[in-house]
Every structure is written in structure tokens, then in C-alpha cells.
Chains A and B, each alone.
Chain A
Amino acid sequence: MKVEFKARRLDLLRMHLDVIREAFKQAVAPDRVTVEYPRERKKYPANFRGIIVFDKDKCISCFRCAHICPANAIQMTFYEKAWPGIDYTKCIFCHFCVDSCPTGALRSTKIHDIAFATMGEMKLNAVQMLKAPELTREDSFTVEYVVDSQGWRLEKKAEIDELALEQFIIPEKRRVSVCVDPESCLGCRLCVELCPNDAISVDRKANKLNILPEKCTGCGICVRNCPMKVLELKEVK
């Protein structure tokens, strides 16, 4: 019993010494992992989801971004065509819109730190989304968290992370709308009225749909809205 007690006392003393040693070590060279944000910038993975920019030339007004948005943050507004505008009060940065865009008109940037002065400014329209917001760079270091067998470490490099937009080229599969089952067509002409490119017309004499492949952009609005589901998107070579 007495021996145990003594051992415990010695153990305590050893622990005190450990604490003092560790404190001195940390005071001289701390292992801290703080990022001094505006002056240092954390290096993010290449596909980290940032603010979204819009390319009006590629947009085919298919509304898929607005349909898929789980936060209902995208509203289509009519300019030359119907173009998406993102409400950043609602946006959850899931980037489903970017993923769903068939032509790559919406894409992500490497800008992850955005600030708005008012709530009203957070609702961007398509024209405001045409180019990425201007970034004031205050950082002169790039830091990166390194996790290995020795634990966490902060690696600091005296270089600026390149935030310029990369040009993604999405392999485009050109698809057009085709009526696969003309006998089931009701002739409701919903597709004709919905088509943003006036590619669909009805041949009254032959009693059938006339889809012009050169005008059709493959947006699929007619396919989604056809009550009889007789339209389909088909790939063309």
C-alpha cells in the first residue's frame, strides 16, 4: 500500500515535468494550425464548389438548373432567352445546377469567399452572373493542412494560389427531340407552344409533328411536358 502511494507521487511529479516541458516546447515553436485568413489563403481542392458563373452563349434555356435546384434558388428570367439567376440567400452550393447543365453554361469558379453589402444584392440575375466577381487579393501565402502519422501540420508556402478560371470543355452530346410514338399523340400542341426555339410545328395535312433538327437544341422541355410521353431525346452523330 505504501509502495503504491509512493509510486503515485513519483508519477505525479513526472506528469508535472511533462506538462512543463510541453509548455516550453509549445511556447518556442507552437504547433498551431490557425490560418491568418486575409493574409494567408487555404489551398482548396481543385473542384471545391465556389460561386457560379454563367455563359449566355452556351445556354439553351432548358430550365434544368431551375428544376433541379433543391433550395429553389434559381429563377429563370427572360432576356434574349430565358436565363437563370441565382438567389444567394437561398443557394446551398450543392452545384446540382452545374452538374445538370447539359451544355456547360453554368460552371463553378475558385472564388469561395463572397460578401454582399445588402440582402437585395444577394439576388443575382443572369447578366450579373456573366463574369466572376472581382477579387481583392490580400494574401501573400498559401497554406495547406497536412495530415500524416505525426498528426496535423500547417504547411506554408510563399506563393499565391492561382484562382483564374479554367476552361472546362464538356464533351457535348448533341441530342434532339424525336417523336417516337406518333399514333399516341393527342395533338395538344403543348410542345409547339413551349419550344423556346420554334423548332416544332404541326403539319396539319399529314397530321403529324414536324421537328426541325437544326433548330432543336435538345433542351427537353417538350419531352418533360408531353402528356402522353411520346417525345424522347435522341443522340445524333
Chain B
Amino acid sequence: MIEVLIDLIRYFLSILKSNQLDIPLIKPIIALIMKIVAQIPIPYLSNLVDFILAVILWRPLFAVVVMPGLTVLMIYLLYIVWFERKLTARIQWRVGPLEVYRPLRGAIQALADGIRYLFQEAIVHKDAHRPYFVQLPILAFIPVLLPIAFIPAGNVVGIKSPYAVQLTIAFISLIPITVIAIGWASNSRFAFIGSVREALMYVAYEIPFIVAAISMIFLYKSGDPYIIVENQWIPGAILNPLAFLVFLIAMLMATSRLPFEIPEADQEIAFGPFVEYSGILFGLVMVLAYEKLYVMALLFTILFLGGWNGIYISLLGDLNAPIWLTIKTIVVISIIAMVRSMYARYRIDQAIRIGFSWLLAFSMVALAIGVVIGYEGGI
């Protein structure tokens, strides 16, 4: 019986070993770990450690779980909440979060908040549609996190697909539906107003957003991130600046940040669709917009900023691409975070007018530019 099990593990191991990350930097460390483990007299321990290391360094799993996947997403969430609050505070002459670990200027405030959410009671009020109210914050993660499996970073990729960009756009387009459903399940007037506003904003930004992305697909003549990144010896932002602008503004609208913070509008409808949530459920829905921003910024980096192109450090090997992609994404998000402290909120009619007038017009022009550059034999 054990022989069969070991054979099975060997078979898995051979699959894992055939697609391992190649990082010269950590090779001596792995060798050292294996050497130490080999001296410990526990049967099969070295095999087990070998298996675990092989699992971690298996490319698809590494892409989804470590970088640019869930681990980086988690660290990014802790970072961006603090960074955004701190930056807004600086611009508005305040100090921002400070007292939770002062030597780091309040850097673990988000972690403290997260732990507090975890231990707080999650109240489901009487009028809410209980099953949906509890399920939807978790269901909402499906369209938010699935694109991470398709977005590649060099050799590190979860699911290799020539339609990765289209798929990512499709998943991003699904997110507002969960938000609207959350508002409906909450069954409160603020949540209802928030849902309707979310739907209105969805209508306003979705068409220019998709058209801008499609213009870039026309420009590179492919939806395959590998071809897109390979072709970007000039960044896409310079090739098609209008699409760049439209995508950027659509990103602000889609993640409901100021000046388009209409669905959440703290001052008017108190966090809109999410008003009834508390405890860990609130923690989940609160980070939804940030995760959406992360996925959109990944797409933005790939389409307009040359993806994982960067200075190649041979010591890092395969890790180069994920690191460059992550750095670029975080920088993009950090710059976007600044917009929040600069602008006041638009009215709903103004935002929709922007979406349907010049944002749509710009996206159409961008599409024309994309088609022309793509048709001319391109880059």
C-alpha cells in the first residue's frame, strides 16, 4: 500500500519538478535546507521537504499563491490601506494612522483593523436576505481573484491562455453584479441607493473601458499577454495615449475612488451597498474595491507600461518578471491613491455625462488609433 502511495507521490513530484522556478539566488539555500534535513533521522522527512519545496516552486502555484497572486495581494492590501490613508493625511495636513506601532509610523494599522474585524460580531439584520447576505461577500471573490490565475508574469503563469486579456476584462465586468446583489440582499435604503448608483456607474465606465482595452488588443493584434509584452519596446502608454487616459479614468470609476466615489459616498449613503455589514464580512467587502484595483492595475501594467519588462538581474532568474510586474503595479496604484485627496466627488449626472460623452469619444478615437497602428504592420 505504502509502495503505491510513494509511487503516486513520485509521479506528482516528477510533474512538479518538470516545471520548477529557476532562481539562482535561492539554490544554495535550498541545498542547505536539504543538507540539514538529511541529517535528521526521521524517515521520509527529506522526501517530504523536497515535495513541499517542489510544490512551492511549481510555476502555476507560485503564480497564483505567491507572486503576483494571493500573498502579494495580501501584502499589497495591508500596504495600500495604510499608504492611502497616510498620503491623504499628508496632503490634507493631518498625520494619519500613527499610534499602531509608532516606529513604522502606523504601518500595521491595517493589520490591526483586520484582526479587529475578525473578532467583531458579524451582525445579520432582520430584514436582510440571510443566505445571500452572508454568501455574497465570499462569492464576490470569484470574479475578483480568478483573473489572477490568467495574468502571467514572464514564465510564472497559472493558466496559460491566448485570451488572457479578454478573460480578465470579462471577469472584471462581473464584479459590479456581485456588488449590486450585495446591495439588494442588504435590504436597506442606503444599500439600495448604493446598488443603483453602482449600476449607473457600471453603465458609465464599462463601454469606454472595454473599448480602450480592445483598442490595445487591436494595436498588438493579440490578447495574449506574452505577445503584448514582447511588442512593447515602446510602452503602450506612448503608442496610444488616449486609450491610456480612458483606461486610467475608467479604473478610477470602476474602483469607486474619488472623484467617482459615487456608489460608496461615505458622506451621503455611508459606504453604499456595504452599509449593513459588520465584522469580518465588512472586512471582506471593504477590500473588494482594492482587489479590483489590483487586478485592473495588473492589466493596466501589461497593456500600457510594458508588463514585466525591466532590468534583468540574472541572480533572480525566473523571479525577475513577477517582481517587475508587482513593482510596476504597486507604483501605479500608489499614484492612483493620490487622486483621492485631490478631487471632490462628481455628481451622478456629471459622472455619467463624462462616461458617455468624452470618455466614450476618446475611447472610440483610441480604437481608431489602435486599428491604424495594428493594420500598418505595426510595431
Q: Could you tell me which A residues sit within 8 Å of B by CB distance? A: 19-20, 23-24, 26-27, 30-34, 36
Q: Given the known A-B contacts A23-B338, A23-B341, are A31 and B93 also in contact in the complex, defined by CB atoms under 8 Å?
A: yes
Complex alpha-carbon distance, A31 and B92, angstroms: 9
Q: Quote the shortest CB–CB distance from A227 to chain B (angstroms).
A: 63
Q: Is the CB of B87 within 8 A of A27?
A: yes
Q: Is the CB of B94 within 8 A of A32?
A: yes
Q: Is the CB of B343 within 8 A of A19?
A: yes
Complex alpha-carbon distance, A140 and B87, angstroms: 26
Q: Given the known A-B contacts A26-B90, A27-B87, A27-B90, are A34 and B95 also in contact in the complex, defined by CB atoms under 8 Å?
A: yes
Q: Is the CB of A34 within 8 A of B94?
A: yes
Complex alpha-carbon distance, A33 and B87, angstroms: 16
Complex alpha-carbon distance, A30 and B88, angstroms: 11
Q: Is the CB of A27 within 8 A of B91?
A: yes
Q: Is the CB of B341 within 8 A of A30?
A: no
Query: Is B342 in the interface zone, CB < 8 Å from A?
Result: yes
Complex alpha-carbon distance, A26 and B90, angstroms: 7
Contacts of B343 in A (CB 8 A): 19
Complex alpha-carbon distance, A105 and B95, angstroms: 43
Contacts of B93 in A (CB 8 A): 26, 30-34
Question: Which of B87, B95, B342 counts the most A-chain CB atoms under 10 A from its CB?
Answer: B342
Q: Quote the shortest CB–CB distance from A88 to chain B (angstroms).
A: 28
From A19, which residue of chain B is reached at the shortest CB distance? B342
Q: What are 22 A-B contacts defined by CB distance under 8 Å?
A: A19-B342, A19-B343, A20-B342, A23-B91, A23-B338, A23-B341, A24-B338, A26-B90, A26-B91, A26-B93, A27-B87, A27-B90, A27-B91, A27-B338, A30-B90, A30-B91, A30-B93, A32-B90, A32-B94, A32-B95, A33-B93, A36-B95
Apart from A23-B341, A27-B338, A34-B95, what 13 extra A-B contacts exist at CB < 8 Å? A19-B342, A19-B343, A23-B91, A23-B338, A24-B338, A26-B91, A27-B87, A27-B90, A27-B91, A32-B95, A34-B93, A34-B94, A36-B95
Contacts of A33 in B (CB 8 A): 93
Complex alpha-carbon distance, A27 and B94, angstroms: 11
From A33, which residue of chain B is reached at the shortest CB distance? B93
**Number of chain B residues whose Cβ lies closer than 8 Å to a Cβ of chain A:** 10
Complex alpha-carbon distance, A24 and B94, angstroms: 15
Q: Quote the shortest CB–CB distance from A173 to chain B (angstroms).
A: 51
From A28, which residue of chain B is reached at the shortest CB distance? B90
Cβ proximity bits B339-360 to A, threshold 8 Å, 1 near / 0 not: 0011100000000000000000
Complex alpha-carbon distance, A20 and B342, angstroms: 7
Contacts of A27 in B (CB 8 A): 87, 90-91, 338
Complex alpha-carbon distance, A34 and B94, angstroms: 7
Contacts of A24 in B (CB 8 A): 338
* Chain A to chain B: the 7 pairs with minimum beta-carbon distance, closest first: A32-B93, A26-B91, A30-B90, A23-B342, A19-B342, A23-B91, A34-B95
Contacts of A31 in B (CB 8 A): 93
Complex alpha-carbon distance, A33 and B94, angstroms: 8
From A25, which residue of chain B is reached at the shortest CB distance? B91
From B86, which residue of chain A is reached at the shortest CB distance? A27
Contacts of B91 in A (CB 8 A): 23, 26-27, 30
Complex alpha-carbon distance, A33 and B95, angstroms: 10
Contacts of A26 in B (CB 8 A): 90-91, 93
Cβ proximity bits B184-222 to A, threshold 8 Å, 1 near / 0 not: 000000000000000000000000000000000000000
Report B302-348 residues with CB < 8 Å from chain A CB. 338, 341-343
Complex alpha-carbon distance, A92 and B285, angstroms: 49
